[in-house]
A and B are shown apart, each in its own frame.
Chain A
Amino acid sequence: DAEITQSPRHKITETGRQVTLACHQTWNHNNMFWYRQDLGHGLRLIHYSYGVQDTNKGEVSDGYSVSRSNTEDLPLTLESAASSQTSVYFCASSRTGSGNTIYFGEGSWLTVV
């Protein structure tokens, strides 16, 4: 079955370290997204991509970067982790176009100490 997987599922890191969260989907979807979820804020869009070599900033992109070298993967990098980036991170994907169901990974719990 096609799926979307995130790794690691849980990580604790220190302030200032670089961290990369992986996202891999086998749906062959062109659209991929990274969201963060925090109490009181719901889900907020960090970055998104509509295809290979395409990346775009979302609502809360400061301190994060993404790259899209193939259809299946959209890794999210925290260049220098900060305590404010402690959160649950969700990767998602959908087919090209606005009217398609979006599918979420199971989330990555990141704690920055």
Chain B
Amino acid sequence: GIQVEQSPPDLILQEGANSTLRCNFSDSVNNLQWFHQNPWGQLINLFYIPSGTKQNGRLSATTVATERYSLLYISSSQTTDSGVYFCAVGGGSQGNLIFGKGTKLSVKP
């Protein structure tokens, strides 16, 4: 099956700093989504981005499908950005996704 690797596994930032999270996947996909899991365990969808670039406020994401990676950019980080960021991919005709192990982000005030 498809393998998903995320890096770095852990990241500590000072408030206001920028960061880049990476997701590598082992096969072609037609579905790639980024999620944020907050400290209370809630999973929130950030982006659906199987290719191209999208931006939503301080967050943006880029997927280069031909090179099998995706990047999540967080600018001017805030303490509320803390949590775990997951990349999930799918290659089938429906929505079941394979998740990476996540990047744990801690933003210090």
Contacts and interface: CB of A to CB of B under 8 A. Distances in A.
Contacts, number: 63
Interface of B: 1, 30-31, 33, 35, 41-43, 45, 48, 50, 86, 88, 90, 92-102
Contacts of B42: 104, 106-107
Given A43-B86, A107-B41, A100 B95 contact: yes
A68 to B, nearest CB: 14
Interface residues of A, number: 28
Nearest to B101: A42
A53 interface: no
The 5 closest A-B pairs by CB, nearest first: A104-B43, A94-B95, A43-B99, A42-B101, A42-B99
A98 B92 contact: yes
